[in-house]
Structure 1
Amino acid sequence: MANGSTDPGIDVVAPSETGGAVARLAAELAASAAVISAQGEALAHFRKLFERASEAARIGVWQCDLPCQTLTWTDMVYDLFELPRGIAVTREMVLPLYPEESRARLRAVRDRALAERSGFQLDVEIRTARGAARWIRITATVECDGDVPVRIFGMKQDITEERLLADRLRHMAESDAMTGLASRARFQSALAAFDAPDDPLARSGVLMIVDLDGFKQVNDGFGHAAGDACLRRAADRLAVACRDAELVARIGGDEFAVIWRAERIADPELRAARIASDLAETVGSGAAKVRIGASIGIARADGRSADELFRAADDAMYRAKAAGRGTYRTAPPRGRGKGPARLRLV
């Protein structure tokens, strides 16, 4: 017998031992509760940090359950689409907020990701519920049960400012700051089409080089401000005269280039004569006046490479200057009547 028990088969635990075990268990439970509470506080803290970071970065998390096409969004995704936070959303409700082109691109990459059990990243334009235009970046991952896709999830980020900045930088790179015409870099890119055998430009396009006559005298006699104003007026008139051209660019100080598709210019020589007439003007008055005009070189593609075409038009322009200025000359067909090559980097 133990602890005064009259039954030899039963051990009786003293009340002091029972109280100690309960105390130890209570202490362990209190410690576990303290850990859980601390973890809960830490989780709540990190959730707030995540929400603040998401708001600052304009990023939200989304999920689509594939069987029912039900969407789950964090608050930032609701904000991106300017929908009330917390409302039930489905793909059928959201897809109309994507313009047709964006919707088609999204459908294509989503279908491919589901078929390949993979993911995707896509930048697309949306129209919010309030009609605002926005650009978002969508990232997605497909989750499978075995080999069956059951969920697709990822993030959506507002990249509107990033897109606008990229557009501004591209515009700056592609536009001439002085005149607003296409820049030399954009002209070089467009000229490369003459090296592409499948581009109609390579078979029948036309290039004109337009160089102002008398511009140096304006700069020397009236100053650079007057010269700049003269350039802008000439550029404006050239843009109007060539509004149906493929590209009108400023490629040098007082030099311009115009690329035409054959179907838009039936008679390049007649058009060049009109351009020369449109660009003619007089700057100043009396003994100080300067006559501004334009010498124009014309070259047809005729199987020429981009470099050969530019040289041909450039040489024709110099022949127009030699002929008295304010006129045009046309490069002979390829392989005939080649003049001395003028190698100039455009």
Structure 2
Amino acid sequence: MPDTSCTPKGMAAQAGKRAGHDSADDHRGDAATIAGLKADLAAQAALIARQEVSLAHSRKIFDRASAAARIGVWECSLPDERLTWTDVVYDLFDLPRGSALDRSEIVKCYPRESRKALTTLRSRAIAERNGFTLDAEITTLAGHCRWIRITATVECEAGVPVRIFGMKQDITEEKILSDRMRYLAEFDAMTGLANRARFQARLGHVEEGRPLGALLLIDLDGFKAVNDTFGHVIGDECLKEAALRLAGACGEAELVARVGGDEFAVLLGTHLDRGAVSGVARGIVEAMGKPVAACGQSLRLGASIGIAFAEAGQPCDLFAQADTALYAAKAAGRNTFRIFKAEAGMKGRSAAA
């Protein structure tokens, strides 16, 4: 048969065959590409699903840890002051979770001093583009009093503050414990008066520019006999009653302290002159001289008082001078007071009041 491949019809036929083969190859290539893309998408979807599960698990752990530690996250956009809280912060303020937040109303939960401190620190942080930490008191909308620790950081865009965010933690138990420890460090557990450490600290502040008017040292007359005769239970009741009477007789005192077993000290301010100080001492003697009812017993105590005025010397001298005057009061028959006079020296000689 004659060769027709070189004829126009033959060439067209061969081109058609080649085109058919190419089209089939293209279809097979497209199918493979699509299958590969589908596999990639499926793998990506599986990865995203695993990441979402992991993220949800991590979020659950974070939420549990936050709830256990009473730590919540907050954010406030600037300048519109729009608040965003996590559930723990809602709980801290006794607000329904997810409820609308109005910052102008929220700040009313802070008492005056805490609100003032928060306003000052917040304004400074925004102005200086930094942050702050503040322990603040709040009264929730349910009337509960709590202490919270606020941490804040200012975020800027192009140098302009756009939000302030941080954490709020319930530190009420920590605050109560801290206050209790400070109380025990500064106050006498039995009487509730300041203890010797706090007394000495205040006395030492005289050299730091905080002047005093006078120091009164007081011994309870007859206490040792009561304690030895009736025991420590009645003795302790007598000390408590004496502390109450002393505090009542020294309403204008800067500090009333128990500095020993049956020894007390009173620090008076500079606003009281010598006559007024003597009047305070007389009031103490009178109050302590009244009968004490303790465990069915009617007991009598007294008070010997030594007084030193601050102009007589430094804090260490002031204590020694009041002590000298105290011994003079005891030597004079007890249940009285004596005032130290510098010209009398430190030999136990004090002028009578």
TM-score normalised to structure 2 length? 0.85
Is 2:81–2:103's contact at 8 Å kept on the other side of the alignment? Answer: yes
| Partner Cα separation in structure 2 for residue 46 and residue 8 of structure 1 | 56
Is 1:296–1:327's contact at 8 Å kept on the other side of the alignment? Answer: yes
Match of 2:53 among 30, 41, 62: 41
Q: 1:153 maps to which residue?
A: 165
Is 2:218–2:265's contact at 8 Å kept on the other side of the alignment? Answer: yes
Runs of 5+ consecutive residues of structure 2 not aligned to the other structure: 1-12, 349-353
C-alpha distance 78-114 of structure 1, shift in aligned 2 (>3 A): same
| Partner Cα separation in structure 1 for residue 286 and residue 239 of structure 2 | 16
Q: 1:344 maps to which residue?
A: none
State how 1:232-251 maps to structure 2 within 5 Å. Answer: 232-251=240-259
Q: Is 2:335 aligned against 1:323?
A: no
Is 1:80–1:158's contact at 8 Å kept on the other side of the alignment? Answer: yes
Q: 2:309 maps to which residue?
A: 300
Which deviates more from structure 2 when the two are superposed, residues 206-215 or residues 38-47?
Answer: 206-215
| Partner Cα separation in structure 2 for residue 7 and residue 312 of structure 1 | 122
Is 1:214–1:290's contact at 8 Å kept on the other side of the alignment? Answer: no
Is 1:2–1:12's contact at 8 Å kept on the other side of the alignment? Answer: no
State how 1:198-209 maps to structure 2 within 5 Å. Answer: 199-201=210-212, 205-209=213-217
Number of residues of Structure 1 aligned to a counterpart in Structure 2: 331
Q: 2:42 maps to which residue?
A: 30
Runs of 5+ consecutive residues of structure 1 not aligned to the other structure: 342-346
Q: 1:339 maps to which residue?
A: 346
C-alpha distance 290-10 of structure 1, shift in aligned 2 (>3 A): closer
Q: CA deviation at 1:281?
A: 5.5
| Partner Cα separation in structure 2 for residue 301 and residue 41 of structure 1 | 74
Q: Is 2:187 aligned against 1:178?
A: no
Which deviates more from structure 2 when the two are superposed, residues 239-248 or residues 289-298?
Answer: 289-298
Is 1:208–1:313's contact at 8 Å kept on the other side of the alignment? Answer: yes
Is 1:297–1:329's contact at 8 Å kept on the other side of the alignment? Answer: yes
| Partner Cα separation in structure 2 for residue 82 and residue 291 of structure 1 | 54
Which deviates more from structure 2 when the two are superposed, residues 32-41 or residues 274-283?
Answer: 274-283
Q: CA deviation at 1:10?
A: 5.5
Q: Is 2:109 aligned against 1:109?
A: no
Matched letter for residue 81 of structure 2:
Q
C-alpha distance 340-38 of structure 1, shift in aligned 2 (>3 A): farther
1:136-190 Cα offsets, whole Å, 9 max, x none, are: 1111111111211111111111111211221222222222122222211221222
RMSD, aligned CA: 2.7
State how 1:183-198 maps to structure 2 within 5 Å. Answer: 183-197=195-209
Q: CA deviation at 1:11?
A: 6.4
| Partner Cα separation in structure 2 for residue 283 and residue 131 of structure 1 | 42
The structure with the greater share of residues assigned to helix is 2
Is 1:139–1:154's contact at 8 Å kept on the other side of the alignment? Answer: yes
C-alpha distance 106-4 of structure 1, shift in aligned 2 (>3 A): same
1:16-40 Cα offsets, whole Å, 9 max, x none, are: 5544443333222222111110000
